[in-house]
A and B are shown apart, each in its own frame.
Chain A
């Protein structure tokens, strides 16, 4: 499968725990985006990378959230001290230079 992949697909954690998600973009795509989607809503932008540089962060990305793309390939999104309000689908998308973004299957996070 040459599409965007994400791991894990589902994560259940207790409030206060840290979680980390991984995204593998389409090979050679230099842009990588993270979005969050809650039930009945459209995806909301969190942050994006061009190669290894994090160029934009949404106000939604609190200090508890951090993202990295160390070698310009895969990316990780970490949430520290999770809260129930963090429960959502976390989607990753990648694109080549500009325009068309292709989404991964998402990681569904449930915070109990």
Chain B
């Protein structure tokens, strides 16, 4: 089955700096890659996603890039703010599995003022 690896497991940045989280996946059939933000005690929230026919997608301070050849995708957060502090999960899915999400283990991001 699909295996998603996520790095780093923890990331600490100064407010205003950029943060980058990287994921790799194993199943070449994967074609949908969402990113979720989960604050302590809260539900995972979808923040951005990308499909396999696109190489990059941007939404304000958040961007995601996808390299299908290398089977990796990354989340970029620019101009970080303290409220960006949370655990971020990447995921991969395929149409054959009904888009059931295979998650990475998460990255705990801390943005210090």
Binding site for B on A (CB under 8 A): 4, 31, 33, 35, 40-45, 48, 50, 55-56, 58, 91, 93, 95, 98-106
Asked if A55 and B103 make an inter-chain contact with CB atoms under 8 angstroms apart, the answer reads no
Please report the C-alpha to C-alpha distance between residue A91 and residue B51 in the assembled complex, in whole angstroms.
24
* B-to-A contact residues, CB < 8 Å: 6, 32, 34, 36, 42-46, 49, 51, 89, 91, 95, 97-106
The verdict on A43 contacting B103 (CB below 8 Å), with A100-B46, A103-B45 known, is yes
A100 touching B106, Cβ below 8 Å: no
Does A41 lie within 8 Å of B106, measured CB to CB? yes
Q: Which residues of B contact A99 (CB under 8 A)?
A: 32, 34, 49, 51, 99
- Whether A100 contacts B34 in the complex (CB less than 8 A), given A42-B104, A43-B89, A44-B103, comes out as yes
